[in-house]
C-alpha cells in the first residue's frame, strides 16, 4: 500500500454531520432525547402528516451560528432553505429540508496540531432522517422517526487533506472545537457526529482531480483513516489497470476490514433541489451574529498559548489541562482563588484528575469545588499547613466535604508557627537529645535536619519546618 | 422542448408513480401539449433576477426550543397501515446495506 | 306550532346574533342544515357536494358548545383538504380515503373557538388540482343552479354547499382561483386573502407558495365576518404566516368617493364574450354610481401567468405529494418490495390529473431542466408581481375584472388538460402576486351566474371589501339576474 503512496497523491475531502444539542427538533417541538421508545417523539410535523408545516428552532440557529463562528466562517446574513427530494422510508416528507445555494456559512478552517490549516467550503443547516432497522422483523424494515427532524449542521471541507493521518487529525481537531463551543455531544458512538469521507487518487503533479468516491458507515475516527487507506488503494489499482473509477457510494465493513460498493440500483441521485417555499429566508442581523461571537468561549489553541506563557507550564501539562473545556475552566477557578498556576496545575493533575480517573467521574461532579481547593493551596502556600497535611485535608474533603480550614483545625493539622510553642518544643528536643544538641551548637549544621525531624515528631507534624530552621539557625549563632 | 417515452419512464421512476406501459403514449402527448404552452416564457430574457425582495415580509419567524409540539388526538397505530411495537413497518429494503442518504 | 323560521338564508351574522341572544339554539340551526342537505340531496345521490358528515356528532357538538362567539351556532362546511379531527380529510383522493386527521387545522380550531359547528367536509378536485371538481376520486359535484353543470373547482363542493343553503359560510382553498371561480359559477361570494394572512397549518399542501385558505359566503358581509375570525398571526405553526393582527373588514360604508379602480386591459380581451362584457360594464357603472373613478391600466405579463403557474405549482406539488407513500398513513398497496409498494400505492391512489402534475413538476425540477423551466418561471413570477405593484404605485386602489370568461360549463364538456387550465386565466395572477382578490355575483349569462372580481394590494383587504360591499349594495337583486 505504501507503494501506491509513492506514485499517487491521496486527495481527501470530509463532510461531517453534527447533531446540534437542542431540546427540540429543527422544525417541530418534539423532544430530541436519544433512546426513547420508537416513534414516541413524533408529531404531525415530523410524521409528515397532511397539512403539517415546519417552523425553525431558534436555538438550532444559535448553535449553528456559534459553530460557524468557532470555525472562523463567514456567516451569511441571509440564507435560504431548500428541499432535497428523494424517496426513503425514514424520510417522511419524501424530501429533506436542507440548504443548497445560499447556506448558513462559508469558508472557515480547521487547524491541525502542527499548525497547518485545512479550509472549509461551507456549513449548512438541515434536518436528520429517522432510523431504519432491517433485521428485527423478518421480511420487514422497521422505521423509527424519533430522530427524524433533529437539527444537524453539515461541515464540508475543501479537498485539501492529503493523508489518512491528516484526516484523523482534522476530525479530532474539529471535534475538540465543537465540544468547546458546546454545540453538540460529538459522539460517533451515539451518532451525533457522522463522517462521509470523499477520496480520490491522482498522479503527483496532475492538476485536475480524478473521480472520487464517498465512503460511509464509518463509526470511529481511526476507522475513517483505515477506510480511506483501503479505498485509496482500490482507486490506485483501478488507475494502474488503465480503467476509470466509477463514482459511487462505498460502505466500510469494519469486521471484514474492507470497503465495498453500496448495493444501490441508481447512479447518482437527482435531488431536484428548489428553495423551500414553506420557509422565508433566514435573516440574521449584524447585532445577532456579533452577540454570538462575543459569547464564544476561549478555544483550545488560545488557551494553550495562554497557559504556557502566563503560568509557565510545560507542554505536557498544558495538554492535560486544556483537554476539555470543563477541566480548563475548573483549573482556572482554582488559580483565581489561590493565585499560583504551578501549584494549582500540580494539584489538579496529580490529585483531582487522578481521583477522577479512578472513580470515572466528570470534573463537574467532583466533590470539592475549585474554590475550596484554591483555599487549601493558599493555606499551604501561606504555611498554615504543610503539603503533607494538605493531602490529608484533601482526602477528608473528598470523602466528607467541608472547608479546608475547618477540617485542618479539626484534624489538628494546622501548622504551629507560634514562636513560644516552637521554642518550647526545641527546648524539649534539645533536652532529650543532649548529645546532638551539643554537637549542633558546636557547629555541626548537618544535624539541623535531625533536630527538625525530632521537633516535627514531637509536634505531631504541626511545627512549621521553615520557622524551625530559622530558629535553630539563630541558636547556632548564624 | 419535448419529452420522450424514455423521459416519462425516467421521471415516473423518480416520482415513484408507476406508469403502466399502455398509458405512456397518452401521457407523452398530454405532457408535450402542456409543455408547448410553456415556450411562451422564452420571450422574456433571462436576467437572473434575485428573489422578490419583499419589504412586507421580515425574514423567517423562529420557534422557541420548548417541548410544545402539536399533540396527536389519535394514536399512531390508528392511522398507520402497519405498525409493530411502535415501529412503522415496510417491506424489507432489498438494498438494505445502502446506508441511505442522510445516515 | 308554526313552521320554524329558516335561519341559514339570513346569513351568519344574523344567526350568530340570534344564538348569542338565545332567540334560537345552535342545535336548531344544525338541524336546519341537515334537513336542507337531505332536501337538496347533498350526498352522492345528488349534488355530491358533501363527502362526509355526521348528524349526531354535529348535534352533540352544537349542544355542548358554550353559547358565544362571533360565529355562534353557525353551521360551516370545510373543504376536504382542511384537517379536522372529526369527519374525514380525504382531499378528494383514494390515497386518503377514510383518513381521519389526528390534529386540527388552525382555521378549524378558530372556527370552533368562534362558536361555529362543523356540519360537513366538502367534495373537491383531487388534492385541489382542477377547475371543476370533476377530478374528485369520489365523483363530480354538481352545480345547485343547474345540476348538469359543474360547480367549478377545486373547491366546488364548498361553493355548492353554500349555494344550496346547507351553511352560510364554507371554507375552501385557493392555489390558482379555486375559490373565486367556483363562487362565480355558483352565484356566491368567494374570497382569496393575501398570502400569509390566514394560517395554512392543517391545509393539505398542493403548491406551498400559492396555497391560501379561502372563504365562501352568500353575502359580502358574511365573508368579511369569516375572514375576521380566520385572519391573524400563526407564526408558531406556519412560518409563512404574516405576523400581524387581524383587522376589521366589516363596514357599513357603501360610499367609494375618492377610490380609484383600475380596469386592466388584459382582462377584457377581444375574445371576452359580449354577454360577459355587458355584465361587467353594468357592474362598473354601479361602482361609478357609488363614487369610484375608473382608470384603464395594464398588467403586461398577464399572458405569461398560466405558463408560470403551471410550472411552479406542479413543481411544488410534486414534492408536497411525495409524503403519500403508504408508510405512515393512508392507502397502502403491496408490490414487489418497498419500491413496488411505493409505485403500486401511488399509481392506484392518485388520479390522472394529479399524476400528470406530479410528472410535470418532477420534470421541470429535474437535472438539466431546472434553469429553463423552474428558475425562469420564478423570474417571470417576479415580473408579474411587479406589474401589480407598479399599478398600485400609480395611484390605483383596486382592480375590477371578470372572474371567468364564461359561466359554468357542462360536466364532461372539457377533456383537454390545458383547456381546463384556461379556466384560471383571470384568477391565477393574484395567487402568483400574493395579492387578495374576491369574486361576487354581478349578473347572469344565459341564466347562469357570473362573477366580477375585485383585486387589491397585499394586505389591502379593507379596500377590497369596501368595493365589494358597495357593488353588492348598488346591484341589489340585479346581481342575480
Q: What would the mean pLDDT of C295-315 be, rounded to a whole number?
A: 96
- Evaluate if residue A283 carries a pLDDT over 90: yes
Indicate the pLDDT class of residue A444, thresholds 50, 70 and 90: confident
Measured distance CA(C213)–CA(C211) in Å, rounded: 7
Report whether A197 contacts A167 (CB < 8 A).
yes
Query: Per residue in A17-28, pLDDT tens?
Result: 999 999 999 999
pLDDT above 90 as % of chain A: 66
> What was the pLDDT predicted at C330?
97
Domain A419-475, CATH: 1.10.10
Q: Are C170 and C161 in contact (CB under 8 A)?
A: yes
**pLDDT tier for residue A266 given thresholds of 50, 70 and 90:** low
**With 60 as the cut, is the pLDDT of residue A478 above it?**
no
**For the residues C433-442, what does the mean pLDDT come to?**
98
The answer, yes or no, to whether residue B97 has pLDDT greater than 50, is: no
- CA-to-CA separations, C213 to A297, B12, C132, C152, C436, in angstroms, rounded: 47, 30, 18, 16, 11
pLDDT for position B48: 64
pLDDT at position A268 over 70:
no
Cβ contact C205–A51 (<8 Å): yes
C161-218 tens-digit pLDDT: 999 999 999 999 999 999 999 999 999 999 999 999 999 999 999 999 999 999 999 9
Q: Residue A46 and residue A27: Cα distance in Å, rounded?
A: 8
Contacts of A159 (CB under 8 A, 6+ apart): A11, A12, A13, A198, A200, A209, A212
CA–CA gap between residue A149 and residue A395 (Å, rounded): 48
Helix, strand, coil percentages (3-state) for chain B, rounded to 5, are: 35, 10, 55
Q: Which pLDDT belongs to residue A477?
A: 64
The average confidence (pLDDT) of chain C is 96
Match 502556600 to its residue by C-alpha cell.
A381
Q: What is the mean pLDDT of residues C233-252?
A: 93
Q: Which one of C95, C307, C322, C326 would you mutate to disrupt binding with B, by most B Cβ within 10 Å of its Cβ?
A: C307
Per-residue pLDDT at B54 exceeds 80: no
* Phi, psi for A259 (deg, rounded to 5): -110, 130
Nearest to B87 among A45, A143, A272 (CB): A143
CATH number of C1-481: 3.90.1300.10
Q: Give the residue among C255, C170, C299 at the shortest CA–CA distance from C463.
A: C255
* Contacting residues of A for C103, CB less than 8 Å apart: 44, 49
Answer yes or no: is pLDDT of B102 > 50. Answer: no
Q: How confident is the model at residue B1 (pLDDT cuts 50, 70, 90)?
A: low
Q: Which residues pair with C79 in a beta bridge?
A: C122
Residue A67: alpha-carbon gap to chain centroid: 14
C-beta atoms of B44 and C100 within 8 A: no
- Answer whether A89 sits within 8 Å of B16, measured CB to CB: no
Of the listed ranges A287-301, B77-91, C377-391, C427-441, the one predicted with least confidence: A287-301
| All partners of chain C with 3 or more CB pairs under 8 angstroms | A, B
Query: Across residues C407-431, what is the average pLDDT?
Result: 92
Is A44 close to B86, i.e. CB distance below 8 A? no
The residue assigned the cell 455531544 is A185
> Looking at residue A446, what is its pLDDT?
85
Average pLDDT, chain A: 92
pLDDT at B101: 41
- Please return the burial class of A314, using the count of CB atoms within 10 Å of its CB with bins 0-12, 13-18 and 19+: exposed
Q: Which range has the worst mean pLDDT, A33-37, A46-50, A268-272? A: A268-272
pLDDT bracket for residue C158 (50, 70, 90): very high
Of the listed ranges A454-468, C397-411, C460-474, the least confidently predicted one is A454-468
Mean pLDDT (whole number) for B59-86? 95
pLDDT of C68-121, one tens digit each? 999 999 999 999 999 999 999 999 999 999 999 999 999 999 999 999 999 999
Instruction: Give, in degrees to the nearest 5, the angle at Cα A18 between A13 and A23.
Output: 170
Residue C1 has pLDDT above 50, yes or no: no
Q: What is the mean pLDDT of residues A304-332?
A: 89
Q: Check pLDDT > 70 for residue B100.
A: no
Q: What pLDDT is attached to residue A265?
A: 52
pLDDT tens for A383-408 read 888 888 899 899 999 888 889 989 98
Look at B69 and A45 and tell me if their CB atoms are within 8 Å: yes
Of A255-264, C376-385, C408-417, which range is least confident?
A: A255-264
pLDDT for B98 beyond 80: no
- Check CB contact of C339 with chain B, cutoff 8 Å: yes
Residue C466: the pLDDT is 98
Which pLDDT does position C272 carry in this prediction?
Answer: 94
Q: Identify all chain A residues contacting C365, using CB atoms and an 8 Å cutoff.
A: 85, 272, 274
Element at A275 (helix H, strand E): strand A274-275
What pLDDT does C142 receive?
Answer: 98
Contacts of A93 in chain C (CB under 8 A): 319, 322-323
Residues A46-53, mean pLDDT to the nearest whole number: 98
* Structure confidence at residue C3 (pLDDT): 55
Q: Does C416 touch chain B (CB under 8 A)?
A: yes
What ranges do the domains of chain B cover? 5-46
Domain residue spans of chain A: 8-291, 298-410, 419-475
- pLDDT of B95 reads 59
pLDDT score at A421: 84
Residues of chain C found within 8 Å of residue A277, distances taken between Cβ atoms: 207-209, 240, 316
Buried b (16+ CB within 10 A) or exposed e, B17-49: bbbeeebbeebbebbeebbeebeebeeeeeeee
What is the ipTM score, two decimals?
0.96
- Would you name the residues of C annotated as active-site residues? 79, 154, 178
- Per-residue pLDDT tens for A96-122? 999 999 999 999 999 998 889 999 999
C378 touches chain B (CB under 8 A): yes
C154 preceded by a cis bond (ω within 30 of 0):
yes
Amino acid at each position: 500500500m505504501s507503494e501506491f503512496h509513492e506514485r499517487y497523491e491521496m486527495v481527501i475531502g470530509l463532510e461531517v454531520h453534527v447533531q446540534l444539542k437542542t431540546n427540540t427538533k429543527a422544525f417541530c417541538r418534539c423532544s430530541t432525547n436519544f433512546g426513547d421508545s420508537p416513534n414516541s417523539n413524533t408529531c404531525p410535523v415530523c410524521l409528515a402528516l397532511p397539512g403539517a408545516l415546519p417552523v425553525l428552532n431558534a436555538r438550532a440557529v444559535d448553535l449553528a451560528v456559534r459553530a460557524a463562528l468557532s470555525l472562523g466562517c463567514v456567516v451569511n446574513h441571509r440564507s435560504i432553505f431548500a428541499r432535497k427530494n428523494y424517496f426513503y422510508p425514514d424520510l417522511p416528507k419524501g424530501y429533506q429540508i436542507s440548504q443548497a445555494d445560499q447556506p448558513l456559512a462559508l469558508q472557515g478552517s480547521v487547524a491541525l496540531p502542527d499548525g497547518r490549516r485545512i479550509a472549509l467550503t461551507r456549513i449548512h443547516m438541515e434536518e436528520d432522517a429517522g432510523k431504519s432497522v432491517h433485521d428485527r422483523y423478518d421480511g420487514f424494515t422497521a422505521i423509527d422517526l424519533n430522530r427524524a427532524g433533529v437539527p444537524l449542521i453539515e461541515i464540508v471541507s475543501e479537498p485539501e487533506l492529503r493523508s489518512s493521518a491528516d484526516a484523523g487529525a482534522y476530525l479530532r481537531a474539529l471535534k475538540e472545537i465543537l465540544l468547546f463551543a458546546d454545540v453538540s455531544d460529538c459522539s460517533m458512538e451515539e451518532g451525533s457526529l457522522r463522517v462521509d469521507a470523499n477520496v480520490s487518487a491522482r498522479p503527483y503533479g496532475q492538476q485536475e482531480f480524478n473521480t472520487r468516491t464517498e465512503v460511509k458507515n464509518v463509526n470511529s475516527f481511526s476507522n475513517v483513516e483505515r477506510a480511506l487507506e483501503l479505498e485509496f488503494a482500490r482507486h490506485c489499482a483501478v488507475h494502474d489497470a488503465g480503467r476509470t473509477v466509477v463514482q459511487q457510494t462505498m460502505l466500510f465493513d469494519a469486521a471484514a476490514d474492507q470497503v465495498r460498493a453500496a448495493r444501490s440500483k441508481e447512479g447518482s441521485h437527482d435531488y431536484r433541489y428548489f428553495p423551500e417555499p414553506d420557509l422565508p429566508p433566514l435573516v440574521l442581523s449584524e447585532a445577532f451574529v456579533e452577540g454570538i461571537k462575543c459569547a464564544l468561549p476561549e478555544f483550545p489553541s488560545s488557551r494553550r498559548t495562554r497557559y504556557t506563557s502566563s503560568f509557565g507550564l510545560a507542554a505536557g501539562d498544558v495538554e492535560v489541562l486544556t483537554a476539555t473545556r470543563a477541566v480548563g475552566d475548573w483549573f482556572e477557578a482554582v488559580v483565581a482563588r489561590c493565585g499560583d498556576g504551578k501549584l494549582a496545575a500540580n494539584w489538579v493533575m496529580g490529585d483531582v484528575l487522578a481521583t477522577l480517573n479512578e472513580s470515572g467521574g466528570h470534573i463537574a461532579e467532583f466533590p470539592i469545588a475549585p474554590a475550596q481547593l484554591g483555599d487549601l493551596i493558599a493555606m499551604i502556600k501561606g504555611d498554615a499547613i504543610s503539603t503533607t497535611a494538605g493531602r490529608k485535608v484533601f482526602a477528608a474533603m473528598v470523602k466528607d466535604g467541608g472547608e479546608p480550614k475547618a477540617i485542618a483545625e479539626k484534624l489538628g493539622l494546622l501548622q504551629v508557627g507560634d514562636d513560644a510553642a516552637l521554642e518550647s518544643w526545641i527546648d524539649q528536643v534539645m533536652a532529650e537529645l543532649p548529645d546532638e544538641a551539643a554537637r549542633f551548637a558546636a557547629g555541626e549544621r548537618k544535624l539541623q535536619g535531625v533536630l527538625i525531624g525530632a521537633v516535627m515528631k514531637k509536634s505531631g507534624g504541626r511545627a512549621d519546618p521553615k520557622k524551625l530552621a530559622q530558629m535553630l539557625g539563630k541558636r547556632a549563632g548564624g | 422542448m419535448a419529452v420522450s417515452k424514455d423521459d416519462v419512464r425516467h421521471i415516473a421512476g423518480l416520482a415513484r408513480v408507476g406508469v403502466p406501459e399502455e398509458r405512456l403514449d397518452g401521457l407523452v402527448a398530454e405532457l408535450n401539449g402542456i409543455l408547448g404552452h410553456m415556450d411562451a416564457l422564452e420571450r422574456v430574457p433571462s436576467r437572473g433576477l434575485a428573489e422578490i425582495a419583499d419589504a412586507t415580509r421580515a425574514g423567517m419567524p423562529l420557534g422557541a426550543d420548548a417541548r410544545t409540539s402539536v399533540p396527536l388526538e389519535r394514536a399512531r397505530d390508528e392511522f398507520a397501515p402497519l405498525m409493530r411495537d411502535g415501529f412503522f413497518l415496510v417491506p424489507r429494503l432489498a438494498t438494505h446495506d445502502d446506508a441511505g442518504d442522510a445516515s | 306550532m308554526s313552521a320554524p323560521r329558516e335561519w341559514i338564508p339570513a346569513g351568519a351574522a344574523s344567526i350568530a346574533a340570534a344564538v348569542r341572544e338565545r332567540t334560537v339554539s345552535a342545535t336548531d340551526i344544525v338541524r336546519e342544515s341537515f334537513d336542507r342537505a337531505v332536501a337538496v340531496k347533498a350526498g352522492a345521490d345528488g349534488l355530491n357536494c358533501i363527502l362526509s358528515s355526521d348528524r349526531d356528532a354535529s348535534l352533540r357538538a352544537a349542544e355542548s358548545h358554550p353559547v358565544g362567539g362571533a360565529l355562534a351556532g353557525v353551521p360551516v362546511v370545510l373543504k376536504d383538504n382542511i384537517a379536522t379531527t372529526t369527519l374525514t380529510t380525504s382531499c378528494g383522493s383514494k390515497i386518503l380515503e377514510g383518513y381521519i386527521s389526528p390534529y386540527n387545522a388552525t382555521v378549524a380550531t378558530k372556527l370552533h373557538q368562534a362558536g361555529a359547528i362543523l356540519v360537513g367536509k366538502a367534495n373537491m378536485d383531487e388534492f385541489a388540482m382542477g377547475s371543476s371538481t370533476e377530478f374528485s376520486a369520489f365523483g363530480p359535484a354538481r352545480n345547485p343552479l343547474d345540476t348538469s353543470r359543474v360547480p367549478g373547482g377545486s373547491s366546488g363542493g364548498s361553493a355548492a354547499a353554500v349555494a344550496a343553503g346547507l351553511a352560510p359560510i364554507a371554507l375552501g382553498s385557493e392555489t390558482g382561483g379555486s375559490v373565486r371561480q367556483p363562487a362565480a359559477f355558483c352565484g356566491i361570494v368567494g374570497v382569496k386573502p393575501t398570502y400569509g394572512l390566514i394560517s395554512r397549518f392543517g391545509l393539505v399542501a398542493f403548491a406551498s407558495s400559492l396555497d391560501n385558505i379561502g372563504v365562501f359566503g352568500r353575502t359580502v358581509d358574511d365573508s368579511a365576518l369569516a375572514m375576521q375570525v380566520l385572519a391573524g398571526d400563526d407564526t408558531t405553526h406556519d412560518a409563512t404566516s404574516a405576523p400581524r393582527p387581524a383587522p376589521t373588514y366589516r363596514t357599513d360604508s357603501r360610499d367609494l368617493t375618492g377610490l380609484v379602480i383600475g380596469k386592466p386591459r388584459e382582462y377584457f380581451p377581444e375574445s371576452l364574450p359580449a354577454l360577459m362584457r355587458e355584465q361587467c360594464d353594468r357592474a362598473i357603472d354601479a361602482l361609478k354610481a357609488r363614487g369610484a373613478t375608473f382608470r384603464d391600466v395594464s398588467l403586461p405579463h398577464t399572458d405569461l401567468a398560466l405558463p408560470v403557474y403551471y410550472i411552479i405549482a406542479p413543481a411544488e406539488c410534486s414534492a408536497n405529494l411525495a409524503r403519500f407513500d403508504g408508510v405512515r398513513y393512508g392507502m397502502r398497496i403491496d408490490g414487489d418490495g418497498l419500491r413496488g409498494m411505493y409505485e403500486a400505492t401511488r399509481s392506484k391512489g392518485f388520479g390522472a390529473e394529479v399524476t400528470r402534475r406530479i410528472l410535470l413538476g418532477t420534470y421541470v425540477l429535474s437535472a438539466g431542466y431546472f434553469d429553463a423551466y423552474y428558475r425562469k418561471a420564478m423570474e417571470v413570477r417576479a415580473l408579474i408581481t411587479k406589474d401589480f405593484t407598479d399599478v398600485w404605485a400609480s395611484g390605483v386602489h383596486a382592480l375590477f375584472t371578470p372572474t371567468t370568461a364564461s359561466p359554468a360549463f357542462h360536466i364532461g364538456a372539457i377533456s383537454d388538460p390545458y383547456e381546463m387550465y384556461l379556466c384560471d386565466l383571470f384568477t391565477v395572477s393574484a395567487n402568483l402576486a400574493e395579492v387578495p382578490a374576491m369574486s361576487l355575483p354581478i349578473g347572469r349569462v344565459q341564466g347562469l351566474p357570473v362573477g366580477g372580481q375585485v383585486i387589491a394590494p397585499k394586505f389591502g383587504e379593507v379596500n377590497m371589501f369596501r368595493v365589494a360591499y358597495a357593488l353588492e349594495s348598488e346591484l341589489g337583486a340585479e346581481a342575480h339576474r
